[in-house]
Amino acid sequence: MQQIVRRAKIIGTGSYVPDQVYTNEYLETTINTNAKWIYNSLGIKERRIADKDQATSDLAWQAGLRAIENANLHINDIDLIIVATSTPDRLAPSTACFVQDKLKAYNAVAFDIAAVCSGFLYAMSVASQYIASDVYQNILVIGADTFSKITDWNRRDAVFFGDGAGAAIVSQANPNEGFLAYRLYSDGRGKENFTVPAGGSAMPCDSTTLENGLHYFKMNGKEVFNTAIKVLPKAINQVLADTGLTVNDVDFMIPHQPSVNILKKTAEIIGLPFEKVMTNMDKYANTSGGTIPILMDELNKKSILKPGHIILFAAVGSGWTYGAAIIKWS
Ligand SMILES: CC(C)(COP(=O)(O)OP(=O)(O)OC[C@H]1O[C@@H](n2cnc3c(N)ncnc32)[C@H](O)[C@@H]1OP(=O)(O)O)[C@@H](O)C(=O)NCCC(=O)NCCS
């Protein structure tokens, strides 16, 4: 379904990554992998890893606090907190309630969104709808994940992910700025290509699931690659068509960070020069829900994003979930 939202914009950003760094060279010493292969195939040099006692909400809380400060708001101004995560602190309650309590943002309603790597995009679209309908005024949207907690560190697919959180404050915009369009898609036929088999109601954790490592993620890398380079261009071309813009109007693309080769191929298909595609997976790898807001915060703090810029967001994740959005920065 097409959604056009003209009145929501981003008034502040923040991010937080844990201090601990795992370099490719370090992983070479622990698993059967190759530092050069990781960099050439994925664009990753290192990733941040949460401490044992750091939960997703700890990262999300810090990112949220920084976004609130960047927007010059008070904690009590926040009336909704949405946390996009697929590594929640617990099955119940929501991670958003943990974040609310850590922030002491008791004026806010709080809930989670689960769309894996597309989570932040989905969450921003929900926030924009609440702004458009005047239900909430200052919405804290956070993308946060700690995939290190669902990684089998003895397997070589441990190279793909890192931990991190990013946040944005979504508020009311003037008519000629802010989000111009969103396109979101889901396709449950892709559900087995990246999944955590155990720990939910379909397969509660027990000694057998633990023994078989079913509480760790499993991923079909080839299928992720082949799907991503099909669905990202589809979503991007559609959202451009919705706004009447062309790819030449795009100043920057702030995409999810699955692998540099997925982004290069996507840019080639849509005809966007790769210099306009922003990346930071060399430092952080794929932080799932965290990728887009961490990157957006970096670019915002470096004043690379300027008023009037047309910014394209795009993401693909397990489910499948995917989509794109366009904002006129202000
Ligand atoms: C992971 C990916 C790079 C693998 O490429 P591929 O060509 O499909 O993979 P293959 O299994 O055929 O392996 C190709 C080579 O890479 C090597 N390889 C695969 N995974 C490796 C790893 N973690 N470390 C080192 N080498 C690895 C294989 O051994 C093989 O080497 P060979 O050619 O000498 O036999 C690619 O599928 C990809 O980018 N997928 C997207 C994954 C992703 O983005 N996930 C995150 C979002 S959910």
Question: What's the rounded Cα separation, in Å, for the pair 48 and 21?
Answer: 5
For residue 284 and ligand 1, the question of a CB distance below 6 A is answered with no
Q: For residue 59, what are the domain limits?
A: 1-330
Establish whether 220 is a catalytic residue: no
Distance 143 CA to ligand 1 centre (A): 26
Establish whether 117 is a catalytic residue: yes
- What is the predicted pLDDT for the residue at 1? 52
For residue 195 and ligand 1, the question of a CB distance below 6 A is answered with no
pLDDT single digits (tens) 19-69: 999 999 999 999 999 999 999 999 999 999 999 999 999 999 999 999 999
Written as six digits, the tokens of 237 are: 């071309």
Establish whether 74 is a catalytic residue: no
For residue 37 and ligand 1, the question of a CB distance below 6 A is answered with yes
Total domains in the fold of the chain: 1
For residue 225 and ligand 1, the question of a CB distance below 6 A is answered with yes
Write down the catalytic residue from 97, 117, 193, 300: 117
Distance separating the N- and C-terminal Cα atoms of the chain: 26
Question: What's the rounded Cα separation, in Å, for the pair 48 and 285?
Answer: 8
CA 154 → CA 27, 148, 151, distances in Å?
10, 12, 9
Non-local (6+) Cβ contacts of 99 within 8 A are 57, 60, 61, 64, 81, 83, 105, 110, 142
Question: What's the rounded Cα separation, in Å, for the pair 306 and 80?
Answer: 27
User: Is residue 316 a contact partner of residue 309, using CB atoms and an 8 Å limit?
Assistant: no
pTM of the model: 0.96
- What is the predicted pLDDT for the residue at 25? 98
Pick out the chain residues at pLDDT < 50: 5
Residue nearest to atom 34 of ligand 1 (CA): 37
For residue 7 and ligand 1, the question of a CB distance below 6 A is answered with no
CATH of the domain at 152: 3.40.47.10
Question: What's the rounded Cα separation, in Å, for the pair 68 and 83?
Answer: 15
